[in-house]
Amino acid sequence: MTDQHAATTLADARRRAAAAAVALRGPAVPTPPRRAVGRVLAEPVLSRTPIPHAATSAMDGWAVAGPGPWRLRPAEAAPSPAQPPTSPADGEAVAVVTGSPIPAGVDSVLRAEHGTVRAEYGGDSLHADPTTGDLAAGRHIRPAGAEAAAGETLLAAGSVVTPAAAAVAAVAGHDLLPVRPAPQVTLICTGEEVITAGLPGPGQVRDAFEVSVPAAVEAMGGRTAAVRRIGDAVEPLVEALAAAAHGEERPGEATDAERAAPQLILTTGGTAGSAADALHPALEQLGAELLVDGIAMRPGHPTVLARLGDSLVVGMPGNPLAGFAALLGLGGVVLDGLAGHERPEDRRLGAGRAAEELPGARRGTRLLPVILDRAGVVPAGRDGSAMLRGLAAADALAEVPAGGVAAGSPARLHLLPWTADRGEAAWDA
């Protein structure tokens, strides 16, 4: 039974979640850059070559050596970056395009618009526009190693492979990157009364989690491998937890990375500890280690964190906003820790200033759905434990201490992982 007085603080629960997740993460899996996007590097990425690896032209035009006018070397083929020209003699010019390697002996590149070719002296000669600045030494030549020397650290261990980072790594010659695989999630929804389509009849509620948790997990860097639905009895929950912990929920076509990935099992409902609630007895039967049994926060105070074999279990309360408080307040830390982030308990946090009073709970921390508007942080409203409208309108959950946050005071924020998709938050609040 969760006891509000015995419950751990949210900060402590997050620290325990971080430590447990970091302890369970496995080795890096060498992964092609395209598939490594979104993953966390376990080791730094060094440049395998100077970038660029040779001096190259920044313009279409002519590589010139010595003072003009120049004898234009007869073209054997159209210039191309794939056709490195040989060094021009003094007084010679050779046609180049953007990206053409520039051989030794070239002084600068004269861009095409600043030169004129005339047929003279039994061949073509090139004359520079007298006003051009292109004859300054090195003009329009990108030196070898201008962006990076060989062996230079391009991407730090612990950083996320963004699309741009994948591009840098590929340009630096990498075919595989040492990233940690995406944590795999199994979602187990409990509740006889929960239906997944249509309007709820008497004694029924429409499921809030199956439609939302996989996408929220994805936005937090995890992958939902399986969703199971069971009733309220203990035995099916024991079976579902055991199957997930043994990796039986991983699809047959799972990749090496997915098989090597650490796992988070999310359960919904059945946390509160009354005779009707299955999670505690199920975890006990399985010999799971309870790491957090209740958090001094509202909503979501019956949230559970347990270790089951090599998996972590986050028990999300069934009340919808309470379930999301567990997922966003604690589950995100677990996912970030398993994914390889450093100090996962400090990620996804932000700060804002209350534009009006943010009401607290009677005891403990309140996670309050808030909107960040131009004036500052304001409550989103409709924030009862069984409600969702406030969360749907919110940009963040404000961490409000007992007693509240007065208008004008700073508030700590847990940023919602999908906020970027809304595309409208006023971050200058």
Q: Which residues bind ligand LQZAQKY5 (CB under 6 A)?
A: 2, 189, 191, 193-194, 205, 207-209, 268-274, 277, 299, 301-302, 317-320, 322, 385
Q: Which of 181, 299, 360, 390 binds ligand MOO (CB under 6 A)?
A: 299
Residue nearest to ligand MOO (CB): 299
Alpha-carbon separation of residue 124 from 66, 76, 120, 215, 334 (angstroms): 17, 14, 6, 64, 70
The H or E element spanning position 379 is strand 376-379
Closest CB to ligand MOO among residues 267, 311: 267
**Interaction partner, residue 268 (ligand LQZAQKY5, ligand MOO, none; CB < 5-8 Å by kind):** ligand LQZAQKY5
**Interaction partner, residue 269 (ligand MOO, ligand LQZAQKY5, none; CB < 5-8 Å by kind):** ligand LQZAQKY5
Pairing of strands 304-308, 311-316: antiparallel
Contact 18, 115 (CB under 8 A): no
Report d(CA 335, CA 342) in Å as an integer.
Answer: 12
Contacts of 197 (CB under 8 A, 6+ apart): none
Q: Which amino acid is at 155?
A: L
Contacts of 282 (CB under 8 A, 6+ apart): 234, 237, 238, 241
Contact 39, 335 (CB under 8 A): no
Q: Which of 54, 234, 385, 387 binds ligand MOO (CB under 6 A)?
A: 385
Closest CB to ligand MOO among residues 111, 414: 414
Residue nearest to ligand LQZAQKY5 (CB): 318
Q: Candidates 184-192, 221-229, 285-293, 299-307 — which segment interacts with ligand MOO by CB under 6 A?
A: 299-307
Closest CB to ligand LQZAQKY5 among residues 87, 274: 274
Give min distance, CB of 230 to ligand LQZAQKY5, in A. Answer: 11
CA end-to-end span of the chain: 41
Give min distance, CB of 170 to ligand LQZAQKY5, in A. Answer: 42
Q: Which of 71, 174, 301, 341 binds ligand MOO (CB under 6 A)?
A: 301
Pairing of strands 153-155, 45-46: antiparallel
Q: Candidates 25-33, 88-96, 281-289, 292-300 — which segment interacts with ligand MOO by CB under 6 A?
A: 292-300
Closest CB to ligand LQZAQKY5 among residues 103, 384: 384
Alpha-carbon separation of residue 332 from 3, 286, 346, 364 (angstroms): 24, 24, 11, 20
Report d(CA 31, CA 254) in Å as an integer.
Answer: 15
For every residue of 263-299, DSSP letters joined together read: EEEEEES--S-STT--HHHHHHHTTPEEEEE-BSEES
The H or E element spanning position 76 is none
Report d(CA 418, CA 429) in Å as an integer.
Answer: 18
Q: Which amino acid is at 158?
A: G
Q: Candidates 32-40, 122-130, 317-325, 394-402 — which segment interacts with ligand MOO by CB under 6 A?
A: 317-325
Contact 296, 8 (CB under 8 A): yes
Q: Which of 298, 341, 347, 348 binds ligand MOO (CB under 6 A)?
A: 298
Q: Which of 244, 322, 370, 378 binds ligand MOO (CB under 6 A)?
A: 322
Give min distance, CB of 296 to ligand LQZAQKY5, in A. Answer: 12
367 binds ligand MOO (CB under 6 A): no
Residue 27 has a CB neighbour count (10 Å cut-off) of: 9
Alpha-carbon separation of residue 113 from 100, 117, 133, 241 (angstroms): 17, 11, 12, 70
Residue 235, both tokens:
């035995």
Q: Candidates 215-223, 237-245, 316-324, 350-358 — which segment interacts with ligand MOO by CB under 6 A?
A: 316-324
319 binds ligand MOO (CB under 6 A): yes
H-type helices in 153-250, by residue range? 163-171, 213-219, 234-245
Give min distance, CB of 315 to ligand LQZAQKY5, in A. Answer: 7
Per the document, the length of the chain is 429
Q: Which of 300, 309, 337, 340 binds ligand MOO (CB under 6 A)?
A: 300
366 binds ligand MOO (CB under 6 A): no
Report d(CA 378, CA 356) in Å as an integer.
Answer: 6
Give min distance, CB of 272 to ligand LQZAQKY5, in A. Answer: 3
**Interaction partner, residue 205 (ligand MOO, ligand LQZAQKY5, none; CB < 5-8 Å by kind):** ligand LQZAQKY5
Q: Candidates 29-37, 119-127, 160-168, 295-303 — which segment interacts with ligand MOO by CB under 6 A?
A: 295-303
Closest CB to ligand LQZAQKY5 among residues 2, 365: 2
Closest CB to ligand LQZAQKY5 among residues 273, 381: 273
Contact 38, 328 (CB under 8 A): no
- Residues lying near ligand MOO in the complex (CB under 6 A) are found at 298-302, 317, 319, 322, 385
